[in-house]
Amino acid sequence: MEVKLTSPVDKKDLASLRAGDRVLLSGPVYTARDAAHKRLTELIAQGKTLPFSLPGSVIYYVGPTPEAPGQIIGSAGPTTSGRMDAYSPTLLDLGQPVMIGKGNRSREVVDAIVRNGAVYLAAMGGAGALMGACVKSVELLCWEDLGCEAVRRLEVEDMPLTVAIDSRGGNLYESGPAAYLESVR
């Protein structure tokens, strides 16, 4: 199934998604990798305001390359999501409904996804130019000292993604290989 999804996201719009569904995402998306996640959770621990509101937000694990002249953004391929696993449950528990990255997630993250009715969307690794072409505008929000890992607000249109882990815990990283093995028997 292919679904159009617009952020900010209402969790009720995620309930019907299943692992393996294709999603075309439009709207604001925030970039944050491990260094930014560490800072976000430090702000939370200190009771300080975050640079963006977590409820309804989509965080993309990306550190875009510098843009060429005349471009909005450079290559914007996903980074390995496991580096955010220590921080993700906290953000999910505070209302973040959608994460975008690549690679499987820890049991703690899957449990937090289910507990919060969230989803984890996978971006195609190695397709950074395709992902970058979906970005219509970029705004630096904070932590410029992190370089490509600074937090940015991207406005995206029809970014192609796949539901990797759905709100019920359906996990494409488990069901995909199992289905393949069944098909070759």
Residue 152: how many other CB atoms lie within 10 Å: 26
Q: Which residue has the tokens 């390359």?
A: 65
Is residue 122 a part of any domain in this protein? yes
pLDDT of res. 179: 63
Could you tell me which of 7, 167, 147 has the C-alpha nearest to residue 74?
A: 147
The residue segments making up the domain with residue 139 are: 2-168
Q: Is residue 48 packed enough to be buried (19+ CB in 10 Å), middle (13-18) or exposed (0-12)? A: exposed
Is residue 114 a part of any domain in this protein? yes
Choice between 185 and 111, residue whose per-residue pLDDT is larger = 111
Please report, to the nearest 10 degrees, the dihedral formed by the alpha carbons of residues 95, 100, 104, 109 taken in order.
Answer: -10
CATH number of the domain bearing residue 149: 3.20.130.10
Q: Does the structure show a pLDDT above 90 at 164?
A: yes
* Domain count along the chain: 1
Is residue 177 a part of any domain in this protein? no
User: What are 115-144's pLDDT values in tens digits?
Assistant: 999 999 999 877 788 888 999 999 999 999
Is residue 180 a part of any domain in this protein? no
Catalytically annotated residues:
37
User: How far apart (Å, rounded) are the C-alpha atoms in residues 119 and 25?
Assistant: 13
User: Can you tell me the mean pLDDT for 156-169?
Assistant: 97
User: What are 11-46's pLDDT values in tens digits?
Assistant: 999 999 999 999 999 999 999 999 999 999 999 999
User: What are 40-87's pLDDT values in tens digits?
Assistant: 999 999 999 999 999 999 999 998 888 888 888 888 989 999 999 999
Is residue 106 a part of any domain in this protein? yes
pLDDT of res. 180: 53
SS3 149: helix
Q: Does the structure show a pLDDT above 60 at 90?
A: yes
Is residue 96 a part of any domain in this protein? yes
